[in-house]
Amino acid sequence: MQVEIQNLSIAFPTASGMSLAVRSVSLTLGNEKLGIVGESGSGKSLTARSILKLLPRSARMTADKLTFDGIDVLSANENAMRAIRGKRAGLILQDPKYSLNPVMTAGEQIAEAWRTHRRGGKREAREAAIDLLAQVKINDPARVAAAYPHELSGGMGQRVMIAMMLAPDPELLIADEPTSALDATVQAEILRLMEDLVSRRGMALILISHDLPLVSHFCDRVAVMYAGRVVEELGAGELAQAKHPYTRGLLECMPALSHPKPRLPVMTRDPAWLV
Amino acid sequence: MSTTWREWLISETPASRAQAAWGRRYRLWCDFRANRLAMAGLIVAVAMVSVSLLAPVLAGFDPGAQNLTLRLARPSAAHWFGTDELGRDLFARVLFGGRVTLGMVVAVVVMVAPLGLLVGCIAGYMGGIVDRLLMRVTDVFLAFPRLILALAFVAAIKPGITSAIFAIVLTAWPPYARLARAETMSIRNADFIAAVRLTGASGPRIVLRHIIPLCLGSLVVRVTLDMSSIILTAAALGFLGMGAQPPSPEWGAMIATARRFILEQWWVPTIPGVAIFVASLAFNLLGDGLRDVLDPKQR
Amino acid sequence: MATSRLKALAATTASVPITLFGLVLVTFLIGRVMPIDPVLAIVGDRAPADVVAAARLELGLDRPLYVQFWIYLTKLAVGDLGRSVMTSHTVGEDIRRFFPATMELATVAIFLAAGIGIPLGVLAAVKQGTRIDHTIRVVCLAGHSLPIFVLSLLSLLVFYATLGWAPGPGRQNLMFDDMVPVVTNFLTVDALLAGEWEVFRDAVAHLLQPAGVLAYFAMAFIARMTRAFMLDALAGEYVITARAKGLSPMRVIWRHAFGNISVRLVTIIALTYAGLLEGAVVTETVFSWPGLGQYLTISLLNADMNAVLGATLVVGVTYLGFNLLADVLYRLLDPRVS
């Protein structure tokens, strides 16, 4: 499995012409864990979703190359994309409160994902759903399977989401800020669970976040995005060698217990970065 | 010059509050203008209002002048829409009918919008027993279909334009009260109102400066959309003999008297019908466009 | 969970008696401001003075307003709505006779309206901003803007007089009058019960035109609401999830997006059904449909007060009933409401 992105741009129409949200981004991803870090509006989420062609309706996407394992995503229609979505690449969204269907039980939603990609009966699907819920370390999978999303906590909901996306056994998992909506205590737990499942199944992962140290902890490689561009790509262990002033700025804003600072610096943004 | 005005208006970094406010209005206008159906509605509505106001100049005939030698004539160069069963010029009657209808609409809106806003804001801001009492009353009036309550009410007083106006007001205010109450309640508990209150603003100031302006958007949309249903209710009352009375050239009443000619001289009842349709469609299109621009959350 | 749902249900129904009371009070007050002397309406204007005085006493018209209201309430409690001057039957009898015809009309209309309006609304939302969407939007706006009596008249002109596809006004061919025994007063049902196919076919033919006219207005509203709800649903994050799962577009639209709005649509349909009572008043007048609407308008023109107030009250109560039904359905069917 290999994802190749070359010179990807995504634009939205506004009153004063097209506004670029992603500007000529190039990335390649093999069977590895890639973190994409950036602030809100930096284009990290759009870049990742472009692989599944799940962009807002008004978005205009152009690229020299955008392939998923040799399949040309740029020219693929909805039908062709369905061979990739779910089956080969899953997507986990930020807040299970909104990303799970509120009028279907957790079990139904997982079973649906399972049945769509693996031919099988309803009963098999239901059993698979309960099994998957057990795999995401839910103690009482049968009860959770029968519950509606609003009856589940945020952490529970996100486990259901992970189980649902793992159901068709994909090769790539895209997690779009999977823990930002959760309580701090649950965040690490969910990330560890996800990392564990991904490693054990030998899957690739794209983890999108605004938390640079956290991402570097779980990923092999980190791409830092600012204003629609990838400003720096680093190995996870090389944060200290970051060259770009934006990355350095992000790291310096972190309070550290080992080196207390009297005052945290304020991020300065150089308009020259945009050129 | 015009380009610089535009640049000043759409600037992403306004230098003053006035520039930001006008920029916002300009953008709303751009959004609205892009909606061709809404623009058509606006143009037709403006045209109908001006034509009705200018009716005495444009009509060419007295809407009440009978000419029994020329009954039920087909449309011609002299009588653009033909004549009715008493030989009256239909074009003149339709124009003057516009004055009756639009006059009723204005009268209703002028009474209903402030009434509903007042009841709703009081209920929403005071809460408690006042709120519950007012909302019960609103519920009772919402429990009748509009036309039927209006019919019963008009029958109780006396058929005619004035009682039709009051009947429509009586049936039209509850949705406004509900709307204003819902808006007031949601705004009242918003953080920025708490902030305003912390700066020491008084209750009336909060309602006047902060709550009512925020209700206005949805109120304007509601009024515009409601205009078409006021037109339709007024026409239905006229048609059923409970609104404007013949020989008044009210569109609904005209159709009622010309109804029996539908199979032979079909244009006589159809033309006022088309007038009602065009007027009500124009306000619907306009209201629809305004809603998309001013109140995008409740599309 | 079931008990909390029942509790919420009890809370919504608790306000109904109060609204109902208000409804009766408003109807009563409208009756009292009427310029027509209710006594003369009952005994006729040539009745001797002592009869008039006796009737006045019986109605309690010399007593204070709240006593009169109490008399009105006690009579209402036993279903006594007074006597119609025009038909010389009791208003209760009249309503039992005319109301089923209206319900028959409205029921056929609501099925037509929902059957066409829902798919149109979904289609418009899915094709948002395209020519299909704009066309559906204009068709719906026309439905909101056309006076129903004009459409009724034009429909008669086109389908009855010009094309000859539809039978004329009325509920059935005069030939078939009184041919089937009255059981439910729904003519189609009664004809089926009696096994009279000719009568049934004739009744359906007469029903389709007024029902179609009514259905257009209801359809416009249902399609518009469906479109709005669907746009809302399609913008939901769970739709992205469903697409990311690799589901077919049909499944995303119908199972996920539509599945989320179906309960709200049920309540909209219940409300529209109630709203058809209003449209029926005008449609029935044009099509000479012997329903409650026609009864109401004829009584209005004859200043038949008891009939007007009785019909108004019945319509109000039915309307209230449908509103309540909409609320109850919403609370029972939606898993999110607890």
Query: Are B156 and C274 within 8 A, CB to CB?
Result: no
Of A146, A154, A147, nearest to A97 (Cα)?
A154
Residue pair B237/B167 in contact (Cβ under 8 Å)? The answer is yes
Residue pair C294/C98 in contact (Cβ under 8 Å)? The answer is yes
Residue pair C207/C188 in contact (Cβ under 8 Å)? The answer is yes
Residue B156 has pLDDT above 60, yes or no: yes
**Separation in Å, CA A40 to CA A209, A211, A226, B100, C146:** 10, 11, 9, 57, 49
The alpha-carbon gap from A14 to the nearest alpha carbon of chain B, in Å, equals 11
Q: Which residue has the tokens 């561009």?
A: A229
Count CB neighbours of A138 within 10 A.
20
Measure the CA–CA gap between B81 and B60, rounded to whole angstroms: 12
Task: Say whether residue B12 is in contact with chain A using an 8 A CB cutoff.
Answer: yes
User: Which C residues, 120 through 159, put their C-beta within 8 Å of a C-beta on chain B?
Assistant: 134, 137-138, 141-142, 144-150, 153-154, 156-157
Task: Say whether residue B27 is in contact with chain A using an 8 A CB cutoff.
Answer: yes
Which chain B residue shows the shortest CA-CA distance from A16?
B10
Residue pair C303/C36 in contact (Cβ under 8 Å)? The answer is yes
Residue C2 has pLDDT above 60, yes or no: no
Task: Say whether residue C130 is in contact with chain A using an 8 A CB cutoff.
Answer: no
**pTM, full prediction:** 0.86
Task: Say whether residue A143 is in contact with chain C using an 8 A CB cutoff.
Answer: no
Candidates A52, A93, A100, A103: best to mutate against C (most CBs of C within 10 A) is: A103
Query: Are A100 and C245 within 8 A, CB to CB?
Result: no
User: Which C residues, 181 through 210, put their C-beta within 8 Å of a C-beta on chain B?
Assistant: none
From chain B, pick out residues whose CB is under 8 angstroms from the CB of A15.
10, 27, 30
Measure the CA–CA gap between A135 and A232, rounded to whole angstroms: 36
How many structural domains are present in chain B? 1
DSSP string, B231-295: HHHHHHHHHTTSSSPTTS--HHHHHHHHGGGTTTSTHHHHHHHHHHHHHHHHHHHHHHHHHHHH-
Query: Chains that contact C by 3+ CB pairs under 8 Å?
Result: A, B
**pLDDT tens by residue, C165-214:** 888 788 887 777 777 788 788 888 888 888 888 888 888 889 999 999 99
Across A124-128, C6-10, C200-204, C240-244, least confident range: C6-10
Residue pair B83/B67 in contact (Cβ under 8 Å)? The answer is yes
Half-sphere exposure of C308 (CA within 13 A, CB side): 28
Query: Are C336 and A148 within 8 A, CB to CB?
Result: yes
Interface B-C, measured as beta-carbon pairs within 8 A, has a size of 146
Measure the CA–CA gap between A223 and A28, rounded to whole angstroms: 11
Half-sphere exposure of A183 (CA within 13 A, CB side): 7
The per-residue pLDDT of chain A, averaged, comes to 90
Q: Which residue has the tokens 């209700």?
A: B215
Task: Say whether residue C282 is in contact with chain B using an 8 A CB cutoff.
Answer: yes
DSSP string, A10-67: EEEEETTEEEEEEEEEEEEE-SSEEEEE--TTSSHHHHHHHTTT---TT-EEE-SEEE
Measure the CA–CA gap between B130 and A75, rounded to whole angstroms: 62
Query: Are A15 and B12 within 8 A, CB to CB?
Result: no
Q: Residue B105 has which token pair? A: 């609409």
From chain B, pick out residues whose CB is under 8 angstroms from the CB of A16.
10, 12
Domain spanning C93-333: which superfamily?
A: MetI-like (1.10.3720.10)
Task: Say whether residue C335 is in contact with chain A using an 8 A CB cutoff.
Answer: yes
Across B66-70, C71-75, C317-321, least confident range: B66-70
Of A256, A251, A227, nearest to A238 (Cα)?
A251
Residue C313 has pLDDT above 60, yes or no: yes
Residue pair B28/B280 in contact (Cβ under 8 Å)? The answer is no
**pLDDT tens by residue, B16-74:** 888 888 888 888 888 888 888 889 999 999 999 999 888 888 877 788 777 778 777 78
Question: Which one of C238, C246, C335 has the shortest CB-CB distance to A100?
Answer: C238
Give the 3-state DSSP-derived string for C157-176, with helices as H, strands as E and coil as C. Answer: HHHHHHCCCCCCCCCCCHHH
Residue pair C89/C83 in contact (Cβ under 8 Å)? The answer is yes
Average pLDDT over residues B4-11: 77
Query: Are A116 and C242 within 8 A, CB to CB?
Result: no
Q: What's the pLDDT band for C337 if we cut at 50, 70, 90? A: low
Domain presence at residue B30: no
Of C335, B16, B214, C158, nearest to A150 (Cα)?
C335
**pLDDT tens by residue, C103-142:** 999 999 999 999 999 999 999 999 988 999 999 988 998 9
**Separation in Å, CA A144 to CA A111, A115, A159, B1:** 13, 19, 10, 65
∠ CA A161-A162-A166, nearest 5°, is: 120
From chain A, pick out residues whose CB is under 8 angstroms from the CB of C244.
52, 54, 85-86, 90-91, 165
The alpha-carbon gap from C114 to the nearest alpha carbon of chain A, in Å, equals 22
Query: Chains that contact A by 3+ CB pairs under 8 Å?
Result: B, C
Residue pair B228/C144 in contact (Cβ under 8 Å)? The answer is yes
Task: Say whether residue A87 is in contact with chain C using an 8 A CB cutoff.
Answer: yes
Looking at residue A254, what is its pLDDT? Answer: 75
Measure the CA–CA gap between B112 and B103, rounded to whole angstroms: 14
User: Which C residues, 284 through 303, put their C-beta within 8 Å of a C-beta on chain B?
Assistant: 285-286, 296-297, 300-301, 303
Task: Say whether residue A103 is in contact with chain C using an 8 A CB cutoff.
Answer: yes
**Separation in Å, CA C224 to CA A174, C110, C140, C279:** 37, 15, 7, 18
Please state the φ and ψ torsions of residue A190, each to the nearest 5 degrees: -65, -45
**Separation in Å, CA B48 to CA B97, B232, B282, B283:** 11, 16, 9, 11
From chain B, pick out residues whose CB is under 8 angstroms from the CB of A58.
none
Looking at residue B299, what is its pLDDT? Answer: 40
Most confident of A106-115, A259-268, B131-140: A106-115
Residue B122 has pLDDT above 90, yes or no: no
Residue A150: exposed, middle, or buried by beta-carbon count in 10 A (0-12, 13-18, 19+)?
A: middle
Looking at residue A24, what is its pLDDT? Answer: 92
Measure the CA–CA gap between C144 and C216, rounded to whole angstroms: 9
Residue C82 has pLDDT above 90, yes or no: no
Query: Are B30 and A15 within 8 A, CB to CB?
Result: yes
Query: Are B299 and C231 within 8 A, CB to CB?
Result: yes
Question: Which one of C236, C238, C244 has the shortest CB-CB distance to A54?
Answer: C244
**pLDDT tens by residue, B67-100:** 778 777 788 877 778 888 887 888 889 899 999 9
Residue pair C112/C219 in contact (Cβ under 8 Å)? The answer is yes
Which chain B residue shows the shortest CA-CA distance from C229?
B299
Domain presence at residue B151: yes
Residue pair C211/A25 in contact (Cβ under 8 Å)? The answer is no
Residue pair A224/A231 in contact (Cβ under 8 Å)? The answer is yes
Q: Residue C40 has which token pair? A: 């003369």
Please state the φ and ψ torsions of residue A171, each to the nearest 5 degrees: -95, -20
Looking at residue B2, what is its pLDDT? Answer: 56
Measure the CA–CA gap between A211 and B72, rounded to whole angstroms: 81
Strand partners for A20? A11
**pLDDT tens by residue, B180-229:** 888 888 887 788 888 888 888 887 788 778 877 777 777 888 888 889 98
Q: Residue C181, preceding bond cis, omega within 30 degrees?
A: no
Residue pair B83/B72 in contact (Cβ under 8 Å)? The answer is yes
Helix H or strand E segment including C34: none
Residue pair A178/A210 in contact (Cβ under 8 Å)? The answer is no
Looking at residue C1, what is its pLDDT? Answer: 46
Which CATH number fits the domain that encloses residue B53? 1.10.3720.10
Q: What's the pLDDT band for B127 if we cut at 50, 70, 90? A: confident
Strand partners for A17? A14
Residue pair C272/C121 in contact (Cβ under 8 Å)? The answer is no
Task: Say whether residue A112 is in contact with chain C using an 8 A CB cutoff.
Answer: yes
Residue C308 has pLDDT above 60, yes or no: yes
Task: Say whether residue A100 is in contact with chain C using an 8 A CB cutoff.
Answer: yes
Looking at residue C34, what is its pLDDT? Answer: 65
Tell me which of C254 and B288 has the higher pLDDT: C254
Average pLDDT over residues C1-24: 73
Query: Are A16 and B10 within 8 A, CB to CB?
Result: yes
Looking at residue C176, what is its pLDDT? Answer: 77
Residues of chain A with a CB closer than 8 angstroms to some CB in chain B: 15-16
Kindly tell me the sign of the dihedral angle through the C-alpha atoms of B70, B73, B79, B85. Answer: positive
Residue pair A176/A90 in contact (Cβ under 8 Å)? The answer is no
The 3-state DSSP class for residue B89 equals strand
Candidates C138, C158, C278: best to mutate against B (most CBs of B within 10 A) is: C278
- Within A141-264, where are the H helices? 141-145, 154-166, 184-201, 212-218, 245-252
The alpha-carbon gap from C156 to the nearest alpha carbon of chain B, in Å, equals 8
User: What domain range is B165 assigned to?
Assistant: 44-298
Helix H or strand E segment including C143: helix C131-145
Residue pair C109/C214 in contact (Cβ under 8 Å)? The answer is yes
Domain presence at residue B4: no
The alpha-carbon gap from A271 to the nearest alpha carbon of chain B, in Å, equals 16
The per-residue pLDDT of chain B, averaged, comes to 84
Across A127-141, C23-37, C111-125, least confident range: C23-37
Measure the CA–CA gap between A116 and C246, rounded to whole angstroms: 8
ipTM: 0.90
Task: Say whether residue A63 is in contact with chain C using an 8 A CB cutoff.
Answer: no
Q: Residue C43 has which token pair? A: 């005994």
From chain C, pick out residues whose CB is under 8 angstroms from the CB of B149.
26, 312, 316
Of B237, B222, B225, B97, nearest to B165 (Cα)?
B237
Q: Which residue has the tokens 């994309």?
A: A81
How, if at all, do strands A3-14 and A17-29 pair? antiparallel
Domain presence at residue B29: no
Of C137, C138, C122, nearest to C234 (Cα)?
C122
Q: Residue B173 has which token pair? A: 């205010």
Who's near A180: CB < 8 A, 6+ residues apart?
Answer: A94, A95, A209, A210
Q: Which residue has the tokens 């509903």?
A: B116
